[in-house]
Amino acid sequence: MGHCFSIELKHPSPKHVVHIKPSMFSKRKGSKSVHVDLDTFDVYWDLTDAVFGSSPEPVHSFFVGLVFNGDMVLLIGDLRKEMLKVNKSLSDSMCLLKREHVFGGKVYGTKVKFKDDGRVHDVEIECDVFGLDDPLLVVRLDGKVVMQVKHLVWKFRGNDKILVDGVHVEVYWDVHDWLFGSITGSAVFMFRTCLVDGASVDLSQSLGFCLTLYAWKNE
């Protein structure tokens, strides 16, 4: 395929680090079980119809799933139903976690889809803290301001809520290191779907989602 990947599993016991080598994924579709002490890791993948863009990461039509002791702990890709068919004992309720590092001087951006049947949004975080007495944090979604945090020196950590595609999203921020730490430190932002005040969106029937962004300044 011209693409390969590997998985590293860090067991709670520090003496166990399991490396699943890229050669295991020479087949476009398959599964593999790894046993560590009394624990079992099951890896499932299907890259048969995977579509790749300009980067090594598949764009769509694929899945890679990781099951720990019978519970789904990671699912990458858009073929969720196909993954659940592979192992019918798995629950249809889970949370998708994504971590990303972004770099910039003042503006940090990424793309994100908050629910499996939603559309891809452009998320932009703007924050300039150096040399300012009263820095401001701004979050934009598709170019529209959805959140502002003033008096950041006193509110360097906090959270707020926004509404995206009918889903409530909690936004957490921690810019302590930008304000009081090393100039090379990172700020941390988290976007997590949630239920608020009896909202009609039933996340138990779809993928919950949590994106953690580590924002590093280029200076």
Q: Domain check: are 36 and 103 in the same one?
A: no
Domain holding 82, by residue range, is: 7-90
CB 67 within 8 A of CB 87: yes
Residue 203's Cβ-count burial label (10 Å; 0-12, 13-18, 19+) is middle
121 lies in some domain: yes
CA distance 43 to 63: 11
Residue 89 in this model has a pLDDT that exceeds 90: no
Same domain, 112 and 203: yes
CA distances (Å), origin 78, targets 84, 96, 118, 186: 12, 11, 12, 30
Per-residue pLDDT at 200: 37
Question: What is the DSSP code (8-state) at residue 132?
Answer: -
- Residues 83, 103 within the same domain: no
In a shared domain, residues 119 and 190: yes
The count of structural domains within the chain is 2
* Nearest-angstrom CA–CA distance, 60 and 11: 30
Q: Could you write out the DSSP letters of every residue in 134-180? A: S--EEEEETTEEEEEE--TTT-SEEEEEEEETTEEEEEEEE-HHHHH
Query: Which among 61, 90, 119 is the end of a domain?
Result: 90
Q: Which carries the bigger pLDDT value, residue 19 or residue 150? A: 150
Q: What is the pLDDT of residue 199?
A: 41
Same domain, yes or no: 121 and 80: no
Q: Do 17 and 114 have their domain in common?
A: no
36 falls within a domain: yes
Q: Where are the alpha helices (DSSP H) in the chain?
A: 80-86, 176-180
**217, 102 Cβ separation under 8 angstroms:** no
Q: Which of 60, 90, 120 is the last residue of a domain?
A: 90
> With 80 as the cut, is the pLDDT of residue 10 above it?
no
The chain-wide mean pLDDT, for the chain, equals 78
pTM above the 0.75 mark?
Answer: no
Query: What is the token pair recorded at 208?
Result: 């919950």
Residue 26 lies in a domain: yes
Same domain, 23 and 49: yes
> Is the model's pLDDT at 201 over the cut of 70?
no
- 200 and 127 in a single domain? The answer is yes
Which of these three, 56, 90, 124, is where a domain ends? 90
